[in-house]
Structure 1
Amino acid sequence: MSPEMLTLRRGRVTAVVSRVEGLARIEVDGVACIAYPRLTGPVALGDEVIVNVQARELELGSGGFDVLYVNVTRGLELEADDGAHVMKLPYTPGQGAAVHGEEGRELPETLEGLPVVCCTLHSQIAPVHAGIGPGLRVAYVQLPGGALPVSLSDSLRTLRERDLLEVTVAVGACVDGDVQCVSAASALLWCKAEGLDIVVCGIGPGIVGTGSSFGHGGLAAAGAANAASALGGEPLLAVRASQADARERHRGASHHARDVLRLCGDRVVAAWPRGSATPGWLRPVEEVDVEGWESACADLPLSHMGRGPEEDGLFFAAAFAAGRLARSRVG
């Protein structure tokens, strides 16, 4: 069997566990499943569905559930958005047309110093936004490299509820943002045109990874940083760091940060929490006072590889540092 082949099965919805904006958590024949109503239509108890079971069968840590692929009962013959003609996931079984933010308008040619925080993991997003704090207009730009649907993230919903996030942008193969854009560059320019104060770029939950230096989804941060730099923005790197990860490549400052810096050179500045030992190779770097980060993050969903702030404070403090550094750059 080709490694790209879908593993599908037919079933029936036996429970609707919860519904939030853009996401339904259900059970199909008693097995946990998620559905994206804005992509595959509404779902209800008793519906006949086809689900993708491959991630669960592979026992992936962040993919331990099935994904509704098509709702045979009420998900056929769904219509595209009015005026949509640019395809997401083109020429795949999941292709669908969506209106894109670049269409029908002129975008600026420069970011004029717009701070752009570049993250390599989705679990950095909440502490980064906490570091930015309230009172500013902040966009989240999701890049391919993890989960593609923006609506999978409970963290983003919480940040919006706390008024720490204004708008989400889905780039490239990513889907279901408030706005869709073709590239990271055009997404950043769209944010500038809309008057956003700070942009946070990252990947969705569940990073794609091979255990190699350049075979991981976190490298999306390098693409965003290079685009921001070329367009006159100020890219800042949220360093993946850990005091508790058993894997040597992620202990201290992760190889994710090293890999991004190798591709960006001095075009991106890494943020690092003052008071923690700074790795000698982490250059260029700016140390940031992160006093009070625990209280600033107290009501946010903080979890990384099953660890919270008590088990791995360095991870969250380093991400918080990037947000605080970005706020200091806002004129």
Structure 2
Amino acid sequence: MIDFREGTVNEIVRRRKDLTEIKVKLEVDTCIAVNLDSLTGDIAIGDRVVLNTTAVELNLGTGGKHFVLWNFRHHVIKASGAGHIMKLRYTPLQLKLLSVEEQKSPYHKVMQNTDLKGMPVIVGSIHSQLPAVAATIKNIDSSVKIAYVMTDGGALPIVFSDLVYKLKTLNLIDATITAGHAFGGDYEAINVYSSLIAAKYVAKADIAVVIMGPGITGTDTPLGFSGIEQGEIINAVHNLNGQSIAIPRISFSDKRERHYGVSHHTLTCLSKVALASSVVTLPEMSADKMEIVNNQFRQCGVNSKHKIEIMANDETLSSLEKYDLKVTTMGRTSSEEPEFFKAAGCAGLYALRLLKRSGEKIVGS
């Protein structure tokens, strides 16, 4: 079931393309809410709105916000633009979009390709890994083109990500592709496979980065988490003849045993879900931390199945600082969780190494 509340907009907090944050006066209190302009139209002070308050009622973290479900001022909203691929299918908010694959797309012909030709594809599992990857790569070589593929394992509207908005503004991401039911990227795609092809042949990227949007679902069970897609994406990259580089989720500050050292999410993805071998990048760490990680990998058979690359990384933390990217993971900063962000940055360093080795600058051209 969905929790609904009705109220009146009494303040516009901020606006940016396709997203407006507002204050809404309810029966006895005032709350912050998000209006996705491309779904429910523009919004103004005085508008009477219906909010979906479910996530706040559950005290969720990243997704714990009120969302405008309907604005009574809009008696009719007419869908604009081309395309007939539906996302959020068979829900009250289903919307039509032009996907790169469909027949009327200008990219339909080039989307007949099925070969990534060795393209480096960085595969993460938490949205906060994205800026560490992008900033590291671009700080070293700003001419390298990065395509970000946002899966539907987390937030569905890409506009919900403040990180993506800032990375695009700083030119640290060159193109965005929203896969599955995620929507709002520079390009829309039906699934991860075609998103990867679009990254190479449509966005003409040198490196693709595939990570879900903000928010990850977990249940403290071995398989019940949305980040399990990391293993499936590794398989997709292999099947399309690309080179996957997996980012391990590492923490030495998390008090939860299942996420200490290498998270059980990463261990499950690499040992039970990924059928193909991947490169797994690790930053140089103190001997005691490295021993913990190595023992976890050995116990799960990760080190015998995948190629573990341990790399010096003095780039990532300084790159985040240079671009003023104050990113956190589980509320902890890069100074509190340096290994988490360095591991992501190492994936970027390794992808650059692959590009240099291939002698190509634009592998998608």
TM-score by length of 1: 0.95
Give the aligned residue type for 1:68. Answer: V
State the match for 1:101 in structure 2: 100
Show the counterpart of 1:209: 218
* Residues 131 and 322, structure 1, Cα contact 8 Å, conserved in 2: no
**Structure with a larger share of its residues in helix:** 2
Q: Max radius of gyration: which structure?
A: 2
Q: Specify which of 112, 119, 126 is matched with residue 121 of structure 1.
A: 126
8 Å CA contact 2:136, 2:315 repeated in 1? no
Distance 1:220 1:77 in 2: 38
Match of 1:240 in 2: 249
**Equivalent residue, structure 2, for 1:311:** 336
Q: Is 1:291 equivalent to 2:306 in the alignment?
A: no
**1:57 corresponding residue in structure 2:** 57
C-alpha deviation, 1:308, in angstroms: 0.2
TM-aligned CA deviation for residue 83 of structure 1: 2.5
Match of 1:163 among 171, 175, 185: 171
Aligned partner of 2:3 in structure 1 is 7
Deviations 1:7-66 (A, max 9, x none): 112111111100122211111112011111112111111111111000001111223320
Query: In 1, distance between residues paired with 2:251 and 2:217?
Result: 19
Residue 279 of structure 2: aligned partner: 269
1:94-116: CA deviation from partner (whole Å, max 9, x where unpaired):
11111111123122120001111
CA contact (8 A) 1:126 1:301 kept: no
Q: What amino acid maps onto 2:173 in structure 1?
A: L
1:130 aligns with: 135
How much has 1:266 moved relative to structure 2?
4.3
The SS at the match of 2:33 is strand
> Which residue in the other structure is 1:39 paired with?
39
Residue equivalent to 1:17: 13
Could you tell me whether the CA contact under 8 Å between 2:326 and 2:333 is conserved in 1?
no
- What SS does structure 1 have at the residue aligned with 2:7? strand
CA distance in 2: counterparts of 1:203 and 1:82, whole angstroms:
26
Q: Is 1:219 matched with 2:228?
A: yes
- Once residues 96 and 39 of structure 1 are traced to their aligned partners in structure 2, the CA distance between those partners, rounded to angstroms, is 8
Deviations 1:235-264 (A, max 9, x none): 111111011001111111111111111211
Give the number of aligned pairs: 326
Q: 1:293, CA displacement in angstroms?
A: 2.1
Alpha-carbon distance between aligned partners in 1 of 2:40 and 2:90, rounded to the nearest angstrom: 17
Corresponding residue number in structure 2 for 1:28: 24
SS at match of 2:274: helix
Question: Is the CA contact 1:131–1:293 (under 8 Å) kept in the aligned structure 2?
Answer: yes
Deviations 1:199-252 (A, max 9, x none): 111111111111222111111222221111100011111111011001111111
In structure 2, the partner of 1:68 is 68
Residue 363 of structure 2 corresponds to which residue in structure 1? none
Question: Which stretch of structure 1 is more off in the superposition, 33-42 or 278-287?
Answer: 278-287
Partner residue in 1 for 2:90:
91
Give CA-to-partner distance per residue, 1:157-194, whole Å, 9 cap, x none: 11112211011111111121121110000010111112
Question: 1:315, CA displacement in angstroms?
Answer: 1.1
Moved over 6 A (4+): none
In 1, distance between residues paired with 2:263 and 2:45? 44
Separation (CA, whole Å) in 2 of partners of 1:224 and 1:25 = 33
CA distance in 1, matches of 2:73, 2:218: 36
Residue 147 of structure 2 contacts residue 208 of structure 2 at CA under 8 Å; is this kept in 1? yes
Q: In structure 2, the residue corresponding to 1:177 is in which secondary structure?
A: coil
The answer (yes or no) to whether the contact 2:251–2:262 under 8 Å persists in 1 is yes
What is the TM-score when the length of structure 2 is the normalising length?
0.86
Cα distance in 1 for residues equivalent to 2:120 and 2:78: 38
Deviates more, 1:58-67 or 1:197-206: 58-67
Letter in 2 for 1:38: S
Q: Which ranges of structure 2 fall in alignment gaps of 5 or more residues?
A: 359-365
The letter for the 2-side match of 1:269 is V
Q: Is the 8 A contact 1:12 1:47 kept in 2?
A: yes
Q: Is the 8 A contact 1:240 1:256 kept in 2?
A: yes
Displacement of 1:267 after TM fit? 2.3
Partner residue of 2:154 out of 127, 130, 146:
146
How far is the alpha carbon of 1:80 from its aligned partner?
2.3
Separation in 2 of the partners of 1:264 and 1:87?
Answer: 29
